[in-house]
């Protein structure tokens, strides 16, 4: 049976190994190519005549090793914060499907009875006064679920211009901001204590091989050259209002 070709960027080493398999070479040989200082030097001089950096790096690797094997699947990393005991037994749900249960959990998590009653009233009467909350909850285009290709990007989200979902998911921040606008009570500190940062790894059939492979190559190149991911290490999964089925989830990791 032919092994499945899966792009997995859980670690730098896993990224090199899967890319090497995809380009039918060895991790050491790929590492050597991506270590070349000429890659960046040439781009810095000739960037006006060259394609975007991701396409440029992809073209270099493809010219050296030949076309990559088609991907059977890609591993993605959904970053969030969860209450203890959350196991994603229903999969990763889009916002519209996840929101009712999330609201109940957020209410139950508040220690102060008066504030808990206020929050329950605000959530059930749709009186959360926050533009981002209203925009997200009323427009299915924002319901995801979302994930990132390179796990390490989650640890450098702010520097890379991304929202830090391990710090706090946007929808919870929106609820807290709207609630504070009305009541003056900031619930973020309480939720920061009770919700644990988590990364959910799952697989999904690939429908954009070149984009994902190019991003993974840029990540490997940046880690080799600079020791950290760069902006070109970022690409995202959008479930487009379809859940990630439980069978596709590989692991739920609490980030300490």
Q: Which residues of the chain have pLDDT under 70?
A: 1-3
pLDDT at 3: 66
Residue 8 structural domain = 1-256
Q: What is the pLDDT of residues 136-154, one digit of tens each?
A: 989 999 999 999 999 999 9
pLDDT at 100: 94
Give, rounded to a whole angstrom, the gap between the first and last alpha carbons of the chain: 39
pLDDT at 131: 85
Q: What are phi and psi of 97, to 5 degrees?
A: -80, -30
Q: What is the pLDDT of residues 176-185, one digit of tens each?
A: 999 999 899 9
Please give the Cα distance from 56 to 247 (Å, whole number).
36
pLDDT at 178: 92
Please give the Cα distance from 42 to 162 (Å, whole number).
28
pLDDT at 2: 55
- Angstrom distances, CA of residue 66 to CA of 30, 58, 144: 12, 11, 35
Q: What are phi and psi of 78, to 5 degrees?
A: -90, 120
Domain count along the chain: 1
The radius of gyration computed from the CA coordinates of the chain, to the nearest angstrom, equals: 21
Q: Pairing mode, if any, of strands 236-238 and 146-148? A: antiparallel
Scored b (16 or more CB within 10 A) or e, 67-91 reads ebeebebbbbbbbbbbeeebebeeb
Instruction: Region of 186 please: left (phi>0), alpha (psi -120 to 50) or beta.
Output: beta
The number of CA neighbours under 13 Å toward the Cβ of 153 is: 28
Helix ranges (H only) for the chain are: 12-22, 27-34, 38-46, 53-65, 95-108, 113-124, 131-138, 170-183, 188-194, 209-226
Q: Is 204 exposed, middle or buried (0-12, 13-18, 19+ CB in 10 A)?
A: middle
Cis peptide before 23 (omega within 30 of 0): no
Please give the Cα distance from 160 to 234 (Å, whole number).
8
């Amino acid at each position: 049976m032919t092994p499945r070709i899966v792009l997995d960027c859980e670690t730098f080493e896993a990224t090199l190994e899967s890319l090497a398999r995809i380009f039918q070479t060895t991790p050491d040989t790929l590492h050597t190519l991506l270590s070349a200082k000429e890659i960046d030097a040439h781009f810095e001089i000739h960037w006006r005549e060259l394609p975007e950096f991701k396409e440029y790096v992809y073209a270099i690797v493809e010219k050296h090793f030949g076309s990559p094997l088609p991907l059977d699947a890609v591993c993605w990393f959904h970053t969030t914060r969860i209450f203890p005991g959350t196991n994603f037994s229903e999969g990763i749900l889009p916002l519209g499907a996840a929101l009712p249960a999330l609201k109940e959990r957020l209410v139950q998590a508040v220690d102060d009875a008066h504030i808990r009653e206020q929050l329950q009233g605000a959530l059930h009467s749709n009186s959360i006064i926050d533009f981002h909350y209203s925009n997200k909850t009323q427009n299915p285009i924002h319901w995801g679920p979302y994930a990132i290709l390179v796990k390490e990007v989650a640890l450098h989200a702010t520097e890379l211009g991304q929202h830090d979902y391990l710090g706090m998911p946007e929808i919870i921040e929106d609820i807290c901001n709207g609630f504070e606008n009305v009541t003056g009570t900031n619930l973020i500190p309480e939720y920061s204590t009770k919700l644990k940062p988590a990364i959910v790894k799952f697989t999904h059939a690939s429908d954009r091989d070149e984009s994902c492979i190019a991003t993974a190559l840029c990540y490997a190149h940046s880690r080799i050259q600079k020791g950290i991911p760069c902006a070109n290490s970022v690409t995202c999964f959008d479930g487009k209002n379809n859940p990630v089925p439980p069978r596709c989830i590989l692991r739920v990791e609490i980030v300490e």
